[in-house]
């Protein structure tokens, strides 16, 4: 089984609790106004990769878990479910960001296997008019953090300021983390 991905970072603290492997999947029909990843909207593009190969890469990384972002992970529910299953079987946790509501996803039979493999679910569409100022790793105030297993709880780590990670990799500038955080670039 293959998965279409837009981007991946082997280790970051900007996309969930602890050191995490961050995976941005390709494709999103929700298209929230103000989304920080509009380049991930098209279902074409990105890279197609076997789920088993990606799982092996994630399991080899020095992280405690995987964060799946988008795009929209539930537009590839079978591939994401298999990836999450393999990652959890290898002893890591799974956090997923979705623009859908958990209750709506539970009503769709094709998403249940994926939901069953998630430790933390951040649900709800991004609302650029309500930026989140208190909870770390959340884009807008309307979004919820749902702990679907006992792997994590809402502890003090969620109350700290968000971070923006800026990396120069192979001549390309990568920026990820909270979309509304101020970025100051300049000379001293």
56 to each of 52, 166, 170, how far by Cα in Å?
Answer: 6, 26, 23
Cα dihedral angle (41, 24, 148, 124), rounded to 10 degrees?
Answer: -30
E strands of the chain, at which residues? 2-12, 20-25, 47-50, 65-69, 93-97, 120-123, 144-147, 164-169, 172-177
Taking the domain 2-177, which CATH number applies?
A: 3.20.20.70
Per-residue pLDDT at 185: 38
Count of positions (residues) in the chain: 188
Name, in order, each residue with C-beta under 8 angstroms of 51's C-beta and a sequence gap of 6 or more: 1, 2, 3, 79, 82, 83, 86
For residue 165 the two structure tokens come to 């990670």
Answer left, alpha or beta for residue 151, where phi above 0 means left and psi between -120 and 50 means alpha.
alpha
Q: How confident is the model at residue 35 (pLDDT cuts 50, 70, 90)?
A: confident
Residues 65 and 131: their CA atoms lie apart, in Å, by 26
What are the φ/ψ torsions at residue 32 (nearest 5 degrees)?
Answer: -60, 130
Q: Which residue has the higher pLDDT, 38 or 51?
A: 51
Domain limits, the chain: 2-177
pLDDT in tens, 110-166: 999 999 999 999 999 999 999 888 888 888 999 999 999 999 888 766 666 666 666
Sign of CA dihedral 139, 142, 147, 152: positive
pLDDT in tens, 62-83: 999 999 999 999 999 999 999 9
């Amino acid at each position: 089984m293959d998965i279409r991905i837009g981007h991946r970072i082997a280790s970051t603290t900007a996309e969930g609790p602890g050191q995490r492997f961050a995976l941005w999947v390709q494709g999103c029909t929700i298209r929230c106004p103000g989304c920080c990843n509009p380049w991930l909207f098209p279902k074409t593009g990105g890279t197609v990769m076997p789920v088993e190969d990606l799982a092996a890469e994630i399991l080899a990384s020095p992280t405690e878990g995987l964060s799946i972002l988008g795009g929209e992970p539930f537009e590839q529910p079978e591939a994401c479910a298999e990836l999450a299953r393999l990652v959890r079987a290898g002893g890591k946790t799974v956090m997923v960001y979705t623009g859908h509501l958990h209750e709506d996803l539970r009503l769709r039979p094709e998403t249940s296997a994926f939901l069953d493999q998630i430790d933390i679910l951040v649900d709800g569409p991004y609302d650029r008019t309500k930026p989140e100022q208190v909870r770390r790793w959340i884009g807008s105030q309307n979004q919820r953090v749902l702990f679907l297993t006992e792997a994590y709880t809402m502890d003090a780590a969620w109350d700290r300021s968000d971070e923006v990670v800026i990396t120069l990799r192979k001549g390309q500038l990568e920026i990820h983390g909270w979309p509304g955080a101020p970025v100051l670039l300049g000379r001293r």
